[in-house]
Chain A
Amino acid sequence: NAGVTQTPKFQVLKTGQSMTLQCAQDMNHEYMSWYRQDPGMGLRLIHYSVGAGITDQGEVPNGYNVSRSTTEDFPLRLLSAAPSQTSVYFCASSRGTGTGDGDTQYFGPGTRLTVL
């Protein structure tokens, strides 16, 4: 099992450029989510999905789009990158919501994004 994989590991964008952060899991988890980690802010939920075809917004969704066409993949799109989106992005998956006994979220290694 590879677990949760994310690509790329590092990315530098110019303001206004678009890109897609890839996330895949091979654990057949229904629930997937994207977080961003900023200094002094902890991890904040951007978007999440409870299954293929179903997505919803988290705490900080503005500037990001997601889709979930398969159970395995959950890409995060930045349509027009801004310096405020400079952050480390983590994808996570879990069997359920990852908030109950025996059901935890597994995180990928992260993508470090810099927007100039």
Chain B
Amino acid sequence: DQQVKQNSPSLSVQEGRISILNCDYTNSMFDYFLWYKKYPAEGPTFLISISSIKDKNEDGRFTVFLNKSAKHLSLHIVPSQPGDSAVYFCAASGLRGGATNKLIFGTGTLLAVQP
């Protein structure tokens, strides 16, 4: 059972426009969410995160929105650049600390930003 879902395997956007990547989760105990970016032949790199006490977190061109009632989060990239072309993974965990606190990843969305 996939607890973190990214229903769009791919997304194509024109350079300069907004990219919106979506993620849904089923476990109401998740209270910390992260986005990772992955280029081919490289490991994932951390992009941005949000805890459940917030509904928005911004870092430069990247903003993550969290809708707890809908169990939905989204990553907005504005403006999109060709270098943003990568696979984006959503991940979730429970913020309880300790050895049992683990990240659950979604299946990823391939973003292609067309020049």
A: residues with CB less than 8 A from B are 4, 35, 40-45, 48, 50, 54, 56, 58, 90, 92, 96-101, 104-110
Q: How far is the CB of A8 from chain B (nearest CB, A)?
A: 14
Contact in complex: A42, B97 (CB < 8 Å) = no
- Structural contact, B41 and A97, CB atoms closer than 8 A: no
Alpha-carbon distance A52/B108, docked complex (angstroms): 32
Q: Is the CB–CB distance between A58 and B107 below 8 Å?
A: no
User: Which of B42, B45, B101, B106 is close to A99, meaning CB atoms less than 8 Å apart?
Assistant: B101
- Contact residues of B: prevailing secondary structure: loop
Interface size on B, residues (CB 8 A): 28
Task: Provide the bound-state CA to CA distance between A48 and B41, in Å.
Answer: 23
Give B contacts to A, CB under 8 Å. Answer: 4, 6, 32, 34, 36, 41-46, 49, 51, 89, 91, 93-95, 97-99, 101-103, 105-108
Complex Cα spacing A100 to B98, Å: 11
In the bound assembly, the distance between CA atoms of A93 and B89 in angstroms comes to 17
**A97 with B102: in contact, given A42-B108, A43-B89, A104-B49 (CB under 8 Å)?**
yes
Please, which residues of chain B bring their CB within 8 A of the CB of A58?
102
Cross-chain contact B102 with A99 (CB below 8 angstroms): yes
- B86 to A: closest C-beta gap in Å: 13
Q: How far is the CA of A13 from the CA of B23 in the complex (A)?
A: 36
- 6 A–B pairs (Cβ distance < 8 Å), ordered by A: A45-B102, A90-B43, A99-B32, A99-B101, A105-B103, A107-B44
